[in-house]
Amino acid sequence: MKSVMPKVEIFSQGEEIVSGQTTDTNAQWLSQELVPMGFDIVRHNAVGDRLDALAALLREIAGRADCCICTGGLGPTGDDLTAEAVALAFDRPLIQDDTALAQIKAHFSRMDRVMPSVNIKQALLPTGACRLDNDWGTAPGFALQQGQCWFAFVPGVPYEMKNMFRERIKPIIARNFNLDPSRRVVLNSVGVGESWIQQRLQSIRFPDDVVLSFRSGALHIQTKLLFQPGFPEAEIRLLTNQVANAIGKPVFWIEGLGEAPADLVEVIGRSMQYRQYKLAVVETLSGGNIAARCAGAAWFHESLIKPDMAALAEQFGMKLPSLDDEACMAELVSTIAEFFQKEIEVECSLAQVWCGDAKALIDKTKVVRLHSALATPEGVFQYSCNLGGTAVRIHKMAATIALDTLRRYLCGLMTP
């Protein structure tokens, strides 16, 4: 039986990781899976294609961790050294696993291809290792106990790694470790920054056994609450509600209270389907990002994409106003939203226009002014803000802000 909080390390192998050619998303994903299970993540390790260095680190981990998940280095080429490193580190000579070899051959047969001889290497496993079947690729994984540490080795391809962790590793972990799961609640917010949220939470007292952290994404902010094992459910919900109320309208979804994770578009979609509403969009600054994010949704009806104000005004036969006239710009975007709503015959129509020199999209020191309008059965809702950064970021944030305007309307958080 293991301790309540077993120590786990994640070991990523590959020259492409340590050289910066590939971002190690596997370690991030595994940590997000292991922490709620009740593990204490103590290290992320990464080593390139160096046999001695790999073996040395494996020996170290065997003496200090309770569990280690290793990704990568199980391919057929000469730079895939994980199995050899295990053999060297723990004096476990490689032997051919006939079942593994048959599975690799069957994989190539299904693909109507002849297995290259180099793939035989993938069936060589360290003596005493337990094979982990890979139904999602060619390379089998393997697991073994060395000293105090239980090791699991899986391919570095994220699709294969994730499936093998869920289907092969988690059942073994459940048998081998006495885990007391922690609880993570994540509040997803849009339209505000991390420092703004931190300021709003200053008046809340967080218990010592609750860890508050933040994750800033390209499109939204996550406020994360990690509750230690045994934290009362009623107090989890009470504290979560306090945090949600402090942040306020920017919160669009809360994970960890029994419902599946959802992004902004999924949250919108549930309300749109419930109301049986359709959406049409007139895009300028978002450059088609709204349409791309809503593509395939039954409630998404149509999108008109124009590069700038001049093209948009010409499309609707309107006079181009002064870009510095806030009132005229607000009136123009409202008129366009209402016109498109009636023309397309939908319940909701989003329109956006922007002000500023086109050079602002390539000059990170400049900002552009975004005006959004949402025409609905209850009237027109407006929102304006400044955006800066790279052109890609501006495009994505313009789409996110427009969609959040729709979300706030659907949730009753806006007035015409």
CA distance 278 to 264: 17
Supply φ then ψ for residue 340, to 5 degrees.
-65, -35
CA distance 29 to 44: 12
pLDDT recorded at residue 415? 66
Q: How confident is the model at residue 110 (pLDDT cuts 50, 70, 90)?
A: confident
Tokens of 72: 């990568």
- Provide DSSP, 81-130: -HHHHHHHHHT--EEE-HHHHHHHHHHHHHTT-PPPGGGGGGGEEETTPE
Tokens of 175: 């048998």
What's the pLDDT tens digit per position in 39-87? Answer: 989 999 999 999 999 999 999 999 999 999 999 999 998 889 999 999 9
Q: How confident is the model at residue 3 (pLDDT cuts 50, 70, 90)?
A: very low
Cα dihedral 195, 292, 270, 218 in deg (nearest 10): -10
CA 117 vs. chain centroid, Å, equals 38
pLDDT recorded at residue 1? 34
Element (H, E) at 388: strand 379-388
CA distance 14 to 393: 31
Computed over every residue of the chain, the mean pLDDT equals: 90
CA distance 181 to 228: 8
What's the pLDDT tens digit per position in 255-295? Answer: 988 877 789 999 999 999 999 999 999 998 888 999 999 99
Tokens of 389: 């950064």
Report the DSSP pairing between strands 251-255 and 367-376.
unpaired
pLDDT recorded at residue 416? 59
CB 41 within 8 A of CB 35: yes
pLDDT recorded at residue 365? 65
| 103 CB neighbour count, 10 Å cutoff | 19
CA 399 vs. chain centroid, Å, equals 18
Q: Is the pLDDT of residue 11 over 50?
A: yes
Q: How confident is the model at residue 215 (pLDDT cuts 50, 70, 90)?
A: confident
Task: Name residue 143's beta-bridge partners.
Answer: 130, 152
CB 37 within 8 A of CB 179: yes
Give the single-character DSSP code of 242: H
The verdict on pTM exceeding 0.75 is: no
Give the single-character DSSP code of 316: T
Element (H, E) at 374: strand 367-376
- In percent, how much of the chain has pLDDT > 70? 95
CA atoms within 13 A on the CB side of 42: 12
Tell which CATH classification among 1.10.3210.10, 3.30.300.30, 3.90.950.20, 3.40.50.300 matches the domain 264-410.
3.90.950.20
* Non-local CB neighbours of 217 within 8 Å, separated by 6+ positions: none
Q: How confident is the model at residue 388 (pLDDT cuts 50, 70, 90)?
A: confident
CB 125 within 8 A of CB 97: yes
CB 66 within 8 A of CB 8: yes
CA distance 314 to 335: 14
Q: Is the pLDDT of residue 325 over 90?
A: no
Q: Enumerate the domain spans of the chain.
A: 7-176, 183-255, 264-410
Tokens of 55: 């073996």
Q: How confident is the model at residue 2 (pLDDT cuts 50, 70, 90)?
A: very low
Rounded to 5°, angle at Cα 198 from 256 and 211? 45
Q: What's domain 7-176's superfamily in CATH?
A: MoaB/Mog-like domain (3.40.980.10)
What's the pLDDT tens digit per position in 327-383? Answer: 888 888 899 999 999 999 999 999 988 876 556 566 666 788 888 999 999 999 988
Quick one: fold of 183-255? Answer: Alpha-Beta Plaits (3.30.70)
CA distance 365 to 275: 42
What's the pLDDT tens digit per position in 118-141? Answer: 899 999 999 999 999 999 988 999
